[in-house]
Structure 1
Amino acid sequence: MIDESPAEEVYRSGWRTQLTQLTDRLADPTYYLAVIGEFSSGKTTFINALLGTRLMPASVSPTTVAPVVVRPTASKSLRVLLADGTTWWWSGGAGRDGSGNAPPLAQLDGLDLPSALARLATDESLTPVVRRVEVGHPAPGLPRDLVLVDTPGTNAEGHHDEVTARAVAEADAAVIVCHGAKVLPETLIRFLKATLDSRLLARCVLVLTHLDQIDPVEHERILRSARLRATRELAITDPQVVLCAPGVVVGAFSGATDAERRHWIDQFAATRDWLRRSVEHSRPITVADTALRLAERLLVDLGGGLDHRSDVLREQHRELELARIADLGSFLSGQRQSGGVELAVGRRAAIDGIEQLVTQARAGLEGQVTAAVVNCGDLRTTLQQDVPQLVRTVLDELGAAAQATVEAELGERYTAACASCDDAFDQEYARLSRAAGVPHLAVPVTPAAITDLDLINPWSFADAVRVVTEDEKRDRRVFAVGTASGAAIGTLFAPVVGTFVGAAIGFFAAARASRDAASVKRDAAGRAAANANAILDAAAEQLADAASAAAEGYRVTFDIRLRWYHDTYVSAVQAIHERQQRQRAEIEAEQQRLSTNREEIYRRVSDVERWRASLVVAPSSQGGQ
Structure 2
Amino acid sequence: MLESFHSRRADVIGVLRDLVGFGEAIGARSLAGRIRSDLVQKLEADRFHLVVVGEFNHGKSTFVNALLGKRVLPSGVTPTTAVIHHLEYAEEPRAEVVYASGRRATLPFEEVRSFTVGGEKAAQALGEGHEEVKHLEVSYPAELLRERIVLVDTPGVNDLSLQRADITYSYIPRSDAVLFLLDAGQPLKESERVFLQEKLLGQSRDKIVFVVTKRDIWDGDEEAEALSYIRGELSRLVKVPVVFPVSAERALDGQPEESGMPQLLDHLTTFLAEERGRILLDNALGEGHEAARLLQKGLDARRRTVQMSQEELTRRIELLEKDLAGQSKTIEERRSGIREEVAAIRAWVRRDLERFVDDVGRQLPQIIDEAKADEVKVHLGSFLEKTLTEWAQAETKEIADALEALAEKTIALVREDARDVARRLGDTLGMDLKAPDVEVDTFRYDVGVFALLTIGVGVMFTNALLGGLLALAAPVLAVYMRDKVEAETRKKAKELAPEALKEAAAKIGPKLDEMIQEFASRLDAWVVTAGEELHREVIEVLRAARDERARAEPGHENVLVTCDQQAETLAGLTKKLEALRSELWKPASADPPNAPTPAVPGLLGDNG
TM, length-normalised to structure 2: 0.40
